[in-house]
């Protein structure tokens, strides 16, 4: 469903990862690991199509990726259902709102303004947003931040169900998510090298002499 | 797209009214000017068309940076960029929402403010016409300027600086239209120009704005 | 028994429930009587012609517009100092009424100005300071609506009312200094009436009373609504938390 | 029945008209909102059984 | 407190210049008005003092919502509230920083804009004096308004609505001072009033603003 | 150093916790636990003095608390050192900047603008801010979010050193911090009751006939 071929990504004009390759097929989940600042967020943004890759290819059919970033894209003054309804409408999936609310245990909070939620409740809403997209490939950046143990369990269940129905997921995280089976990719090995060590040359690596 | 429009309008109303507030600001500008300038009716009547247009323009300007800023900060813009809606549509819808909450109320309320500035009687029709035809261009151009500055902290003043020169032609023809209408002059040329500017802007600028946003999200 | 007991929501609800019908009835009677008397049974004035009939709405509404702001200032202070919720809610309830009174004074004044001064609007100090007062009302109401937490809103609008009052006074003085206008001086005063003969004075007095009673009725009704709304919000929040 | 207002009829009538509209407006809005909130509160109290909470 | 001032000034310069931008905005307003009003020198000269004051006031206004908004969003304001600096001092310093980046440049550059509007010769001294004495009050009052609306999304227009009536006395006395100065009238009363308003505002309003912020952080 | 006596806290006008009591003395750390939305953030804000308590007392000498919220109070356009220098100046501790940088492994990033940091690097900077306050009582809301294992270890070391020099810490978290010895307080038991069940009555609890 998603194949990455020797991808290199850059931030602030500097290459940070290179030679990243993997493939995800239906029912698979891949966990990205690596120390802080190794480039997980940058890689996910590139795969989601928000920034162009420096080199390599991203092979995926159109309209399969649902990106879940750090920021949840919630409107503070709208209620929980209003927020979900909006995203469901954008993705043309209005019927999914009710199940998403139930799955993320938000039914009791449905009519609260998003700004009056606690950190973990907001995060749950962010995950519910993912469910209403109806997209098969989830690309998630640290999805379980701020969640208590019960909510992490909810998320793991949702993820399991998603994989079970032929979905796939790519998850960057530092914390263990209690999941049956996931592959892990450690990005430390893919740290971009300087051009003189064989890394990709940027636009201004020519010697001016 | 309708969902986006509905959401933006709802947010504007929810957050203490993008609606009433730009009106209030317009009112305040038209009230301020006589204080600065002095109360004689003659002077006021002469400068009224210009002041009304400048007031509308500033009311518009003040609300511009909110077109995308909030969506950028809370991550919605990233998510919209990955959603199955073309960015051009997002920009157009947001410009439309801005016009509905800012331009339209101004058009409807302008005659009242005209009274405050002793605008001469025959000019009222032209005031409404000129604002009605001209303000959509303000919203679309504003959406373009906002797209250029999205993601910049303190983009507000920079935004004004970028957008104001773009507003100049609209302002000149708009004010001229009212002034000619008031004095019974030939109104065809400014009206045509104004309509032309608006039509061209609405048709073409969203593409530029969408490109700017995509670059800014990178 | 201290007056502060009425600041207890329950006590306030009981007392106001008892008083409301009486106030409503009295307001209706005086207002209708005053307006009918003023509109149908007063003669033309030499200088104003029949437009003098506008005075029966113009002057009471202008007075109320000012007095309501003063009332809001007092209740805001009570909230800020003694923190009685009902007091803050009364200020919130009064503001839209004050805005309507300001609008009535402005509109009737403008309509009156057209035949008398030959213009709908003149940058006369009286008129201008009313416009500014209207702006203060608008800002005050907008601030209440923009803030979610009711206690926060009460505190902030209270502070705004305080600072705003000072600046409203200051504007009045500044405006006077800036432009001496066309408007009537204050020729009405309760004890001495040089310029206004009894024919106009008595129905006017009746109308003023009517406007005051109408205001009391509206404020009681609206404050009761606000109190209920607070209780409703509290119950809902508690239900959600349970 | 309507008194003779002469050349100022329009002014006087419109002044009274505007006033009545605004007054009736604010009264109606107050009463309508009062009724609505009262109903909502009654329903809520019924639901939570918080009659004497 | 000096650290806070230094940081705010540095941020203003770093973020694409609160400095230059308010000037640019002022410039644009003074340029727009002749376009709207028409170029006759006589009319322009008469309305120049008022327009200059209104322009200064709007330039000030546009930058107000940034006084605390950024600090609120990134949590600095919470942390400052728990830091060993009284909130009154924070407010005063922020108002001062706002004046230094907005008011002061306007005061210094105003004569240039006066030329654009055909301001009569003797008025220039009074223009600088009146802006110099009056603009600090604008910054402090703005800091108060911003304190009331901190934490509100889309507070910008609401802020203008709250603050502009408060600016009215300053505007009236300021414009009147220039007008009288230009025509050789008695300038003592408006000057004294202007100075009095500024002094009282600077001394008292920070307390109200600090109280408002504390309430808003609750 | 800090004593809490039957504290009740409210958010949005509704009591959420009541009867919370504990005391912290020098060298002690207390971890607050509880599911999402139980009121940890609210409690910490109250203790930090940002909002008034509904009932109960907070006993602490003046100027001992350093509050570390979710948001780090970083200026995106300032560099890492500039950010730290500012807070050090506010707390009158300019000498601590260098050690804080070293302790949080930020020396290499010192002259980068804060906006170009990754999520975990930002968090480290937020923790370094805490070190420059020089305050003895740390009140922290989920301090280890987004941190990788190595950085969590850095934080644990810093915390241990802080406790060792007579400091104290109050920490709300869902994740285990590898710490030698901390007491734990579960807030679930302190959930506020409705007034009819014996909880505190608010301003509008009277029934209206
Ligand atoms: C928008 C316009 C106007 C406003 C805001 C306004 C406002 C006021 C105010 C505040 C008062 C004082 C009430 C009091 O405190 O006793 C007043 C009284 C009065 N106004 Fe106006 N006014 C306006 C226009 C006019 C016009 C055009 C006329 C007639 C030519 C007029 C005639 C009067 C008269 C006769 C009184 C009673 C004065 C007295 O004897 O005290 N007003 N108005
Ligand atoms: N504008 C920039 N200029 C230079 N370097 C940058 C810029 N922006 C980010 N970086 C660097 O790029 C690297 C990758 O950042 P990224 O956010 O992708 O890391 P991450 O793996 O998501 O880390 P974390 O686990 O902390 O979230 C970081 O080292 C960061 O400091
Ligand atoms: N304005 C409000 N009105 C009503 N309830 C609110 C409001 N704001 C917050 N709450 C509720 O108060 C409770 C406490 O929130 P708080 O942020 O303190 O929780 P928390 O323990 O920090 O949770 P988390 O672990 O998710 O961060 C939550 O249930 C939240 O929904
Ligand atoms: Mg990251
Ligand atoms: Mg929390």
3-state secondary structure chain F: CEEEEEEEEEECCEEEEEEEEEEECCCCEEEEECCCCCCHHHHHHHHCCCCCCCEEEEECCCCCEEEECCCCCCCCCCEHHHHHHHHHHHCCCHHHHHHHHHHCCCHHHCCCEHHHCCHHHHHHHHHHHHHHHCCCEEEEECCCCCCCHHHHHHHHHHHHHHHHCCCEEEEECCCCCCCCCCEEEEHHHHECCCHHHCCCCCCCCCCCC
Domain that holds residue E119: 2-10+19-217
* Chain F residues whose beta carbon lies within 8 Å of the beta carbon of residue A70: 119
Residues counted in chain E: 218
- Calculate mean pLDDT across residues A198-209: 57
Q: Is B165 on the interface with C (CB under 8 A)?
A: no
Determine the pLDDT at residue A200. Answer: 61
pLDDT digits (tens, 9 = 90+) for A169-196: 999 988 877 665 677 888 887 787 766 6
- State the pairing for strand pair A29-33/A2-11: unpaired
Chain F partners within 8 Å of E15 (Cβ) = 77
Residue F184, beta-bridge partner list: F31
pLDDT for B215 equals: 86
Is there a contact between F114 and F83 (Cβ–Cβ < 8 Å)? yes
Mean pLDDT for all residues in chain A: 84
Using CB atoms, which residue from C9, C13, C149 is nearest to F13? C149
Task: State the total domains in chain C.
Answer: 1
Interface of E with C in 119-148 (CB under 8 A): 144, 148
Q: How many angstroms separate the CA atoms of C48 and B112, rounded?
A: 26
What DSSP designation does A55 have?
Answer: E
E abuts D (3+ Cβ pairs < 8 Å) = no
**Ligand nearest to the Cα of A145, by number:** 3
Alpha carbon of residue A169 to chain centroid:
8
Q: Is D7 on the interface with F (CB under 8 A)?
A: no
For residue F141, list its beta bridge partners.
Answer: F172
CB contact under 8 A, C230 and F204: yes
Alpha carbon distances (Å) from A62 to A9, A164, E138: 21, 22, 54
Chain C: give the shortest CA distance to residue E16, in Å. Answer: 31
Can you give the length of chain C in residues? 242
Q: Comparing C214 with B110, which gets the higher pLDDT?
A: C214
Cα torsion C117, C120, C121, C124 to 10°: value is 30
**Which chain B residues are Cβ-neighbours of A82 within 8 angstroms?**
7, 10
Nearest to A124 by CA among A101, A97, A157: A101
Q: Which residue has the higher pLDDT, E154 or B145?
A: B145
Q: Does E211 touch chain B (CB under 8 A)?
A: no
- ipTM, two decimals, is 0.83
Closest CA–CA distance from residue F63 to any residue of chain C (Å): 26
d(CA A56, CA A43): 12
Chain C residues with CB under 8 Å of F209 CB are: 13-14, 17
CA of B156: how far to CAs of A144, C150, E64, in Å?
A: 35, 30, 10
Q: What is the pLDDT of residue C192?
A: 43
d(CA A134, CA D29) in angstroms, rounded, equals 44
What is the model's pLDDT at position D53? 42
Percent of chain C with pLDDT over 90: 37
Query: Positive or negative, the Cα torsion across B13, B16, B22, B26?
Result: positive
The pLDDT value recorded for residue A148 is 87
Q: Does B2 touch chain A (CB under 8 A)?
A: yes
Q: Is there an interface between B and D (3+ Cβ pairs < 8 A)?
A: no
Q: Among the listed ranges B105-109, C188-192, C219-223, which one has the minimum average pLDDT value?
A: C188-192
Query: Is E53 near chain B, with CB under 8 Å?
Result: yes
Mutate to test the pocket of ligand 2, among F118, F123, F149, F150 (most ligand atoms within 8 A of CB): F118
Of chain A, the percentage scoring pLDDT greater than 70 comes to 90
pTM: 0.85
Has domain F26-52+63-186 been given CATH number 3.40.50.300? yes
Sheet of F2-11, strand order? F14-24, F2-11, F55-59
Q: State the distance from the centre of ligand 1 to the C-alpha of C32, rounded, in angstroms.
A: 22
pLDDT for residue D25: 93
Q: What share of chain D is helix, strand, coil (3-state, %, to 5)?
A: 80, 0, 20
Q: Which residues lie across from F118 on neighbouring strands?
A: none
Task: Please give the angle made by the CA atoms of C88, C92 and C95, to the nearest 5 degrees.
Answer: 135
Structure confidence by residue, pLDDT tens digits, E99-140: 998 888 888 888 888 888 888 878 888 888 999 999 999 999
Q: Report residue E151: phi and psi, to 5°.
A: 85, -15
3-state secondary structure string across chain C: CCHHHHHCHHHHHHHHHHHHHHHHHHHHHHHHHHHHHHHHCCCCECCCEHHHHHHHHHHHHHHHHHHHHHHHHHHHHHHHHHCCHHHHHHHHHHHHHHHHHHHHHHHHHHHHHHHHHCCCCCCCHHHHHHHHHHHHHHHHHHHHHHCCCHHHHHHHHHHHHHHHHHHHHHHHHHHHHHCCCCCCCCCCCCCCCCCCCHHHHHHHHHHHHHHHHHHHHHHHHHHHHHHHHHHHHHHHHHHHHC
F16: Cβ below 6 Å to ligand 3? yes
Q: Alpha-carbon distance B76 to C92, whole Å? A: 35
Residue nearest atom 15 of ligand 1, based on CA coordinates: C63
Chains that touch B (3 or more CB pairs under 8 A): A, C, E
C-beta atoms of A174 and F146 within 8 A: yes
Chain A contacts in chain B segment 31-70 (CB below 8 A): 70
Please count the CA atoms within 13 angstroms of the CA of F85 that sit on its side-chain side: 12
- Tell me the best of C100, C106, C184, C192 to mutate to test the pocket of ligand 1, counting ligand atoms within 8 Å of each CB and taking the most: C184
The C-alpha atoms of residue B41 and residue A1 are separated, in whole angstroms, by 73
Assigned token pair, C101: 């009174």
Cα nearest neighbour of B171 on chain E: E36
Of C43 and E173, the structure prediction assigns the larger pLDDT to: E173
What pLDDT is attached to residue C193?
46
* Chain B residues within 8 A of E41 when measuring between CB atoms: none
> Going by C-beta distance under 8 Å and a sequence separation of 6 or more, which residues neighbour residue C21?
none
Using the structure block, give the residue that is written with the tokens 């007092």.
C74
Question: Distance from CA of residue F170 to its chain's centroid?
Answer: 6
Rounded to the nearest angstrom, the distance between the alpha carbon of D52 and the centre of ligand 5 is: 33
CA of E61 to the centre of ligand 2 (A): 36
Cα–ligand 1 centroid distance for E104 (angstroms): 42
Contacts of A91 in chain B (CB under 8 A): 83-84
Of A36, A147, A148, the CB nearest to F121: A36
Cα–Cα dist E72/E150, whole Å:
7
CB D11 to CB C222 under 8 A?
A: no
Q: How far is the alpha carbon of B26 from chain A, nearest alpha carbon, in Å?
A: 26
Query: How far, in Å, are A34, B195, C180 from residue A187 at the CA level?
Result: 5, 56, 78
Report pLDDT digits (tens) over F87-120. Answer: 888 888 888 889 999 988 888 888 888 888 888 8
Residue A76 φ/ψ, nearest 5 degrees: -60, -35
pLDDT average per 10 residues of sequence, chain B (218 residues): 77 63 78 77 78 84 78 80 84 90 87 82 84 91 89 70 85 85 81 91 91 85
Q: Give the three-state DSSP class for B178.
A: helix
Distance, in Å, from the CA atom of B158 to the CA atom of B214, rounded to the nearest integer, reads 19
Number of domains in chain B: 1
Which residues are CB-contacts of D34 (< 8 A; sequence separation ≥ 6)?
C221, C222, C224, C225
Cβ contact B78–A71 (<8 Å) = yes
Report the distance separating Cα C144 and Cα C147, nearest Å.
6
CATH number at residue C221: 1.20.120
Q: Each residue of C122-145: b (16+ CB within 10 Å) or e?
A: bbbbbbbbbbbbbbbbbbbbbbbb
Helix (H, G, I), strand (E, B) or coil at A17: strand
**CB-CB: which of F50, F75, F92 is closest to E81?**
F50
Cα–ligand 1 centroid distance for F165 (angstroms): 74
What residue in A sits closest to C149 (Cα-Cα)?
A116
Better-predicted residue by pLDDT, A53 or E63: A53
Q: Out of A129-143, B33-47, C228-242, give the one with best mean pLDDT.
A: A129-143
Residue F83: Cβ-neighbour burial (10 angstroms; 0-12, 13-18, 19+): buried
Looking at residue D52, what is its pLDDT?
Answer: 46
Distances in Å between the alpha carbon of F48 and those of E80, E115, F87, F131? 12, 54, 17, 17
The count of CB pairs under 8 A between chains C and F is 44
Which has the closest alpha carbon to E173: E159, E184, E186, E189? E189
**pLDDT band for position A209 (cuts 50, 70, 90):** low
Q: How far is F65 from chain A (nearest CA, A)?
A: 22
Q: Is residue A57 within a helix (H) or strand (E), and if so which, with residue range?
A: strand A55-59
**Given the CA of residue C187, which atom of ligand 1 is nearest to it?**
40
User: Which residue, among F90, F74, F82, has the nearest Cα to F124 in the 3D structure?
Assistant: F74
Tens of each residue's pLDDT in chain D, 53 residues: 556 666 677 777 888 888 899 999 999 999 999 999 999 988 888 887 655 44
The residue of chain A with its CA nearest to that of B13 is A77
Residue numbers of C between 166 and 185 with CB closer than 8 Å to B: 178-179
Contact at 8 Å (CB) between E73 and E150?
no
- Could you tell me if the CB of A77 is within 6 A of ligand 3? no
CB contact under 8 A, E36 and B46: no
Name the token pair of F67: 């509050």
Does the beta carbon of A116 lie under 8 angstroms from any beta carbon of chain C? yes
Is the distance from the beta carbon of residue A14 to the nearest atom of ligand 2 less than 6 Å? yes
Q: CB–CB of B28/E161 below 8 Å?
A: yes
Partner residues linked to A168 by β-bridges? A137
Which residues neighbour B197 within 8 Å (Cβ) at sequence distance 6 or greater? Answer: B134, B137, B169, B170, B173
**pLDDT for E55 beyond 70:** yes
Half-sphere exposure in the Cβ direction for E36 (13 Å, CA): 26
| CA angle E10–E15–E20, rounded 5-degree value | 85
Residues in chain D, total? 53
Extract the residue ranges of chain F whose pLDDT is less than 50. none
Domain span at residue C171 reads: 10-241
> Which residues are CB-contacts of D46 (< 8 A; sequence separation ≥ 6)?
none
Chain C environment of B118 (Cβ under 8 Å): 119, 121
Q: How confident is the model at residue E203 (pLDDT cuts 50, 70, 90)?
A: very high
Closest CA to D43 of F195, C230, C12, C236: C236
In which band, very low, low, confident or very high, does the pLDDT at C214 lie, cut at 50, 70 and 90?
A: very high
Tell me the pLDDT band of C197, cut-offs 50, 70 and 90. low
Say which residues have a Cβ less than 8 Å from residue B51's Cβ, sequence separation at least 6: B29, B30, B33, B117, E33, E36, E37
Tokens of residue C158, six digits: 């209270």
- The answer to whether the Cβ–Cβ distance between E46 and B28 falls below 8 Å is no
- For residue E99, what is the DSSP state? I
Q: Is C126 in the pocket of ligand 1 (CB under 6 A)?
A: yes
Helix (H) or strand (E) holding A112: none
Q: Does D46 touch chain C (CB under 8 A)?
A: no
Partner-chain contact A70 B78, CB within 8 Å: no
């Amino acid at each position: 469903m998603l194949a990455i071929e020797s991808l290199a990504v850059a931030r602030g004009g500097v290459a940070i990862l290179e030679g990243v390759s993997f493939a995800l097929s239906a029912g698979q989940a891949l966990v990205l690991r690596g120390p802080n600042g190794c480039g997980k967020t940058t890689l996910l943004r590139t795969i989601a199509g928000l920034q162009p890759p420096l080199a390599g290819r991203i092979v995926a059919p159109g309209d399969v990726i649902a990106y879940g970033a750090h920021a949840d894209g919630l409107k503070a003054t709208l209620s929980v259902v209003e927020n979900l309804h909006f995203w469901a409408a954008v993705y043309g999936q209005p019927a999914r709102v009710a199940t998403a609310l139930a799955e993320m245990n938000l039914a009791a909070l449905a009519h609260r303004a998003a700004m009056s939620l606690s950190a973990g409740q907001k995060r749950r809403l962010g995950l519910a947003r993912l469910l209403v997209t109806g997209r098969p490939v989830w690309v998630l950046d640290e999805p379980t931040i701020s969640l208590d143990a019960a909510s992490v369990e909810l998320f793991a269940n949702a993820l399991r169900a998603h994989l079970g129905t032929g979905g796939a997921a790519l998850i960057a995280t530092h914390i263990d998510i209690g999941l049956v089976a996931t592959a892990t990719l450690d990005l430390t090995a893919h740290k971009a090298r300087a051009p003189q060590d064989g890394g990709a040359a940027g636009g201004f690596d020519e010697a001016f002499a | 797209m309708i969902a986006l429009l509905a959401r933006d309008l709802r947010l504007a109303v929810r957050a203490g009214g993008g609606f009433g507030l730009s009106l209030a600001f317009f009112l305040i500008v038209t009230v301020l000017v006589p204080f600065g300038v002095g109360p004689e009716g003659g002077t006021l009547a002469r400068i009224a068309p210009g002041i009304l247009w400048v007031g509308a323009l500033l009311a518009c300007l003040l609300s511009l940076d909110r077109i995308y800023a909030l969506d950028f900060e809370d991550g919605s813009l990233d998510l919209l960029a990955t959603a199955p809606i073309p960015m051009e549509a997002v920009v157009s819808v947001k410009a439309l929402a801005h016009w509905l909450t800012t331009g339209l109320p101004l058009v409807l309320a302008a005659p009242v403010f005209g009274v405050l500035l002793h605008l001469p009687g025959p000019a009222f029709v032209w005031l409404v016409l000129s604002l009605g035809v001209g303000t959509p261009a303000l919203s679309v151009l504003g959406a373009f300027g906002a797209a250029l500055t999205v993601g910049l902290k303190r983009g507000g003043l920079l935004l004004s600086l970028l957008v104001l020169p773009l507003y100049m032609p609209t302002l000149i023809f708009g004010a001229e239209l009212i002034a000619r209408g008031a004095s019974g002059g030939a109104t065809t040329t400014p009206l045509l120009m104004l309509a032309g500017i608006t039509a061209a802007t609405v048709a073409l600028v969203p593409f530029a704005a969408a490109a700017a946003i995509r670059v800014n999200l990178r | 028994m201290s007056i502060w007991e009425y600041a207890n929501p329950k006590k306030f609800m009981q007392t106001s429930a008892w008083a409301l019908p009486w106030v409503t009835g009295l307001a209706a009677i005086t207002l209708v009587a005053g307006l009918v008397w003023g509109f149908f049974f007063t003669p033309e004035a030499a200088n104003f012609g029949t437009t003098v009939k506008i005075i029966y709405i113009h002057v009471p509404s202008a007075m109320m517009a000012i007095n309501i702001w003063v009332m809001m200032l007092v209740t805001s202070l009570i909230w800020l100092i003694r923190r009685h919720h009902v007091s803050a809610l009364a200020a919130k309830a009064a503001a839209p009424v004050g805005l309507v009174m300001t609008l009535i004074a402005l509109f009737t004044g403008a309509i009156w100005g057209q035949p008398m001064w030959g213009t709908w609007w003149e940058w006369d100090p009286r008129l201008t300071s009313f416009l500014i007062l209207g702006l203060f009302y608008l800002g005050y109401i907008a601030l209440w609506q923009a803030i979610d937490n009711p206690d926060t809103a009460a505190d902030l609008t209270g502070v705004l009312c305080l600072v705003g009052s000072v600046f409203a006074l200051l504007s009045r003085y500044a405006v006077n200094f800036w432009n001496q206008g066309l408007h009537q001086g204050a020729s009405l005063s309760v004890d001495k009436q040089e310029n206004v003969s009894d024919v106009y004075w008595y129905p006017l007095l009746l109308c003023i009373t009517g406007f005051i009673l109408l205001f009391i009725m509206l404020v009681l009704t609206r404050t009761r609504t606000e109190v209920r709304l607070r209780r409703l919000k509290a119950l809902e929040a508690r239900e959600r938390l349970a | 029945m309507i008194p003779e207002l002469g050349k100022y009829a329009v002014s006087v009538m419109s002044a009274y008209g505007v006033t009545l509209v605004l007054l009736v407006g604010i009264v109606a809005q107050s009463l309508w909102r009062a009724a609505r909130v009262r109903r909502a509160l009654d329903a809520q109290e019924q639901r939570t059984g918080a009659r004497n909470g």
